[in-house]
Amino acid sequence: MKNMKFKNRLFISFCGVLILAILLPALYVYNMLEREVLRESTEKAVKQVDFIQWIYDRDAPFKSNAALDQWCSMLGDKLGCRITVITSGGAVIADSSVPQDEIRYMENHANREEIRSAAINRTAVSVRYSSTLKRKLIYAAKKIKSRETDDAFYLRTAYPVSSIENRMSQYMDKFWVGIVLIFALTFALSIYLAGKLEAPVHQIMNRLKAIADGDFSHKYIVDAGPEFYSLSMTLNETADRIREQMDVISEQNLEMETIIENMREGVMLLDRSGHIKAINRAMGGIAECHLSCIGRRPLEVFLNSDVQTACDKILAGAKEYNLTISMAADTFYEMYAVKITEGGALIVFYDVSERKRLEKVRRDFVANVSHELKTPLTSIKGYVDTLLTDDFSIDEQGRTFLSTIEKNASQMTNIVNNLLQLTHLEEKPLDLDLRPVDAAGSFQSVWETFQPMAEEKQVRADNRLPAQLMVYANESTLSRVFRNLIDNAVQHSPEGGIITIFSKTKEEEIIFGIQDQGPGISQKHQNRIFERFYRVDKERSRASGGTGLGLSICKHAVTAMQGRIWVQSPPPEENKGSVFYFSLPIAKEPE
């Protein structure tokens, strides 16, 4: 049915409804007519038996059963029915349809339906098959009394049902002729109406096809009734709205293409299979190609495995990815890749060459200044230490001045050393020798160096690390991270406080946590505490000898070891304190 034309489906449906609408009433009328004719026939049979009784009462008595049988035969021929006289015991003594000499061989009729009913109700009617005449008859029986003996007997008449059936057949022949004529007329009418209904449907379908093909100019008005007229008007309004939306979308696409094409950043679009689908002018300049890039893989264009790896990770399911790549000696790009919902990826290249150059200038300046300051600071500290010995006679006020000079020189020396370490990590972060390191043992060694300082403040460590915890790291760099974080935790912990060290495994990395019970860090400072020289409490940091470089060194060190570092303050389910987290790759055992 689904593959048939609308006209044929409509026609078949209409014919099905028509057949049901005609046949069901016809069957009902036929059954009702058959019952009515049968009812009239049974009533006629009862009247007939009453009439025969009246004649019997007039002609009786009869001299013998033979005379009675002759009377039944004569009257049955005139009335066109079978007349039977049956005694109260069921014996047949006369029958108009059976010869006199054969009557004695007939079956006992006491159990006949009409005889049993007449014995109770005096008059009874039944429709059944006659084993004597071999056909279906309508029987009417009546219980009467004999004038000679006052004994009861039954007077019965029988009419063939075939006469009723012939009558019904005549009625039905005329009825079916009428039904066929009606069906023929409605059949022709249904074909005509189906064609009339199909025409506006085809017009609407053609209008929809035109709209689908982008033709919004033609106006079709289907005037085949109010419903089709309203539908055609709605289609025209829909086409106008679609055209307006298409114009807006086209205009927006043109504006977007103009913006993207004139961006200074390189933009590249990848399809689901990882091939380049589109690029802008800036990306064409970066890749030194334009139309020739389309359809190729990023590795074929940039000849950089890091770019291809980033694209593969995005296509594999990662939501976004950041990477800084070098395309030439002094040219650097920050690559940002993001997954597209419909499939594929969007790659953006930001030129950060100038920023990298300025960062290098700054690092070189810091390194040079640090190197230049290191020698005079060492000399100053050495001379101050010499003057503070007992070999020189200096009064108390002079010694106070010299102690202040020594303290400031030591702090400046720490700043210079931290700056040199930070510069080294920034310049060569990938030169670290990463190998399996026992992080639990590294922490224990660092804590032993801080134990005197912790005991002085009555601070103890709650070490929850397992006995051995293998990670990929540089041993000295990992010790430096532990040293800076533990130093901050001890300094900011109150007297009698507890420093908790714990770890948890997540996928392919181990996350370390160092939690203190200090005053905590407000939310506005948490995003900047890993910047160099940034202090939350500047006065306290200076008083404690802090340089403001420890957390910055930790960030660069953890990043160089392919990890992450962040802070949470206050810790979960606490109202004070801080917990510093950092992650490192798990050192898997070789197969």
Topology of the domain covering 356-427: Helix Hairpins (1.10.287)
Per-residue model confidence (pLDDT) at position 204? 67
Q: Which of residues 181 and 232 earns the better pLDDT score?
A: 181
Per-residue model confidence (pLDDT) at position 129? 75
User: What is the distance between the terminal CA atoms of the chain, rounded to a whole angstrom?
Assistant: 64
Mean pLDDT of 80-103: 86
Per-residue model confidence (pLDDT) at position 196? 67
Domain 7-167 has CATH 3.30.450.20: yes
**Mean pLDDT score across all residues of the chain:** 78
Read off the pLDDT of residues 530-554 as tens digits, 9 standing for 90 and up: 776 666 655 444 444 455 677 877 8
Reading the block at residue 26, the tokens are: 């016809």
Per-residue model confidence (pLDDT) at position 430? 46
Q: Per-residue pLDDT for 13 more than 90? A: no
Q: Any residues with CB less than 8 A from the CB of 162 and at least 6 apart, and which?
A: 135, 136
Residue environment code for 32-63, b if the CB has 16+ CB neighbours within 10 A, otherwise e: eebeeeeeebbeebbebbeebeeebeeeeebe
Q: Could you tell me the pLDDT band of residue 327, with boundaries at 50, 70 and 90?
A: confident
- Please tell me the distance from the alpha carbon of residue 139 to that of residue 97, in angstroms, as a whole number: 14
Closest CA to 238 of 252, 219, 261: 219
Q: C-alpha distances in angstroms, 288 versus 279, 285, 295?
A: 12, 5, 15
CATH class, domain 430-585, is alpha beta
Q: Per-residue pLDDT for 397 more than 50? A: yes
Percent of the chain predicted with pLDDT > 90: 4
Q: Could you tell me the pLDDT band of residue 591, with boundaries at 50, 70 and 90?
A: very low
Estimate to the nearest angstrom the gap between the alpha carbon of 350 and the chain centroid.
38
Q: C-alpha distances in angstroms, 8 versus 5, 228, 289, 406?
A: 5, 20, 59, 106
- Please tell me the distance from the alpha carbon of residue 139 to that of residue 144, in angstroms, as a whole number: 16
Under DSSP, is residue 265 helix (H, G, I), strand (E, B) or coil? coil
CATH 3.30.450.20 residue ranges in the chain?
Answer: 7-167, 265-348
Q: Per-residue pLDDT for 146 more than 90? A: no
Question: For 265-348, CATH number?
Answer: 3.30.450.20
Full-model pTM: 0.43
